[in-house]
Amino acid sequence: MEDELQITLTNDYAFKRLLGSEENKPLLQDFLECILDLTPQQVLDLEFMDKELTKEEFSDKTGILDVKLKLTDGTVIDIEIQASWNASFVKRTLFYWAKMYTSDFKAGESYDKLHRCIAINIIADGFRLNDAIHSEYLLQEKTAHTVLTDVLEVHFLDLPAAKKAKGEGKTAGKRGQLINWLCFIGATDKEERAMIATMSPVLQMLNEKIDVLTLSPIERKLYESRMKLKSDITTISETQFSAGVERGKSLGLAEGSRQKAFETARNLLVIGLSIENIAKATGLTVQEVETLHSC
């Protein structure tokens, strides 16, 4: 019998499969109510967008969003899972936000047609901006802190901070509901996930869906490739990355490290990272990455 696959929602494929589907829409609605302090009516008829991934999108520099949706008032929301924090992530999320903000805007239209866009980032490890479980960033005046507009919102949800708060018993009220959600998403084994699920009927429903989830061989390969890539990335510190790039330029890569770089580059191509960024991350040349991309 094939080994049981331990599902974790910090895997972007599993997150999209479970919370980015029509059948599980009520579960995602509950999650959004906790994050954005919305009423059930405000998220009642949310619409999923860009659900299917095409071959062209894998090489598109605009990137691939984990879960993108629209509320009835036109607000567009992007929910992203990030395995580990890195120095470029703030710029990355603003880039995605800008693409969302202008994606449906047509020449000649009034600027009033532009809708509010919200970027929600769930960080599994290493969040560095502050110690908060939930951070919300808006566009404000520097001294008076008055909000210029509500069209821009960027949220960060720190899974380790939520786990710490739960361990300290801070799970009361709506904040407690959000903490339970985040701890559920960050759970790494079946027993831990089941225990957290007892705190909420919605989480119990989601836990049951995870328990009976059957992945096809192709889907299982996609899931496991995400997990392997996550492991590869988290073993490289930013200092090691910078030093490795410089050593690679001057001394060249040893054969074993070079093979590892090619393997990592192939995984990064699968999830849609640009050729230029893959070259920077692995120490390979752009030409070498392009050769892999054409294979």
**What is the SS3 assignment for 6?**
coil
Structure tokens at 33: 């109510």
Structure tokens at 225: 């490739």
Structure tokens at 249: 């330029």
Yes or no: say if 116 and 150 are a contact pair by the CB < 8 Å rule: yes
Sheet containing 76-82, strands listed edge to edge, beginning at the edge strand earlier in sequence: 47-49, 67-70, 76-82, 117-123, 147-158, 134-140
Residue type, 68: K
Report the distance separating Cα 285 and Cα 253, nearest Å. 12
Yes or no: say if 80 and 119 are a contact pair by the CB < 8 Å rule: yes
Yes or no: say if 12 and 226 are a contact pair by the CB < 8 Å rule: yes
Q: Write down the pLDDT at residue 273.
A: 74
Q: What are the percentages of helix, strand and coil residues in the chain, rounded to 5?
A: 55, 15, 35
Q: Write down the pLDDT at residue 35.
A: 95
- pLDDT under 50 in the chain at which residues? 1, 51-63, 237, 253
Yes or no: say if 66 and 9 are a contact pair by the CB < 8 Å rule: no
Q: Compute CA distances 67 → 22, 25, 47, 147, 268, whole Å.
A: 12, 11, 11, 27, 19
Burial of 235 (0-12, 13-18, 19+ CB in 10 A): exposed
Yes or no: say if 269 and 58 are a contact pair by the CB < 8 Å rule: yes
User: CB-hemisphere CA count at 13 Å for 70?
Assistant: 12
Using alpha carbons only, give the angle 8, 11, 12 rounded to the nearest 5 degrees. 140
Residue type, 231: S
